[in-house]
Amino acid sequence: MKILTTVKRVTDPDMKVKIKPDQSGIITDGVEYRMNSFDEYGVEEAIRLKELHGGEVIVVSVGPAEATKEIRTALAMGADRGILVETNAELDSDAVARVLAEVVRRETPDIIVIGKQAVDSDRNQTGQLLASYLDLPQATFAYSLEVADGWAVVGREVDGGTSTKRVKLPAIITADLRLNEPRYASLPGIMKAKRKPLDTLTPADLGVDIAPKVRVLRYEAPEERAAGEIVGSVDELIDRLRNKAKVI
């Protein structure tokens, strides 16, 4: 089974994001980067599929040269080879999906398991767009995945609960948080990863125009939240909601 998964290099979600004074983006000086946490679930699931069914895990990233570190982390976890589509351009989800679609056409994997969204821009579009560009079935927000006889049965997180979807492979599955518990990259895994193949391409090599279709006008910080208040009783709560917050 040939399994394709993806990793995005994102700003550390635990750090405080500061917006540039001209609101054109975030300040990246001194910022730490790491693998998008939803991608960790995608990579883990891809490796589990390989462990169960045999085959090969290919990990793809679209981004700067530094993203080899995130690819290398996935290789250290157990993926077999990496592909970096290198670009320093600002990418929208559509451009990433079109780049990935071209990689998928070349690699022809049996299944594509990726994170449901990136924790930096939180757009949650790439998986869906990718399915559309490839005209393949999709099952998003997976909390469970079973593969047999060319089909995948996917438990999905949906509004109001869960649902189950059966899709014919190849298909695009996007991973949610309950899907698995991602393993750490072990030290022997890290050492082995050094010798695993990692190819670098450019969007131009793939014939993909990455000019963005989405224009970002400006970044704004959300309004600062005032400290909460602990009330002693329901009556007091109702009083605060009515007279202080004025919401009832």
Residues that bind another protein (CB under 8 A): 34, 68-69, 72-73, 76, 184-191, 193-194
Residue 65 vs 204, nearer CB to another protein = 65
| Residue number with CB closer to another protein (171 or 193) | 193
Which CB atom, from 11 or from 126, has the smaller least distance to another protein? 11
Taking the complex as a whole, how short is the minimal distance between the CB of residue 116 and another protein, in angstroms? 21
Q: Which amino acid is at 136?
A: L
Residues 173 and 145: beta-carbon distance below 8 Å = yes
Q: How far is the CB of 19 from another protein (least distance, A)?
A: 19
Q: How far is the CB of 234 from another protein (least distance, A)?
A: 30
Query: Which one, 35 or 113, has the nearer CB to another protein?
Result: 35
- Our CB check for another protein shows the closer of 171 and 185 to be 185
- Shortest Cβ 34–another protein spacing (Å): 8
Q: Which is nearer to another protein, 21 or 188 (CB)?
A: 188
Instruction: For residue 33, give both structure tokens.
Output: 């980067």
Q: Shortest Cβ distance from residue 193 to another protein (Å)?
A: 8
Please give the C-alpha separations between residue 94 and each of 35, 159, 215, 227, in angstroms, as whole numbers.
20, 25, 12, 39
Nearest distance from residue 61's CB to another protein, in Å? 14
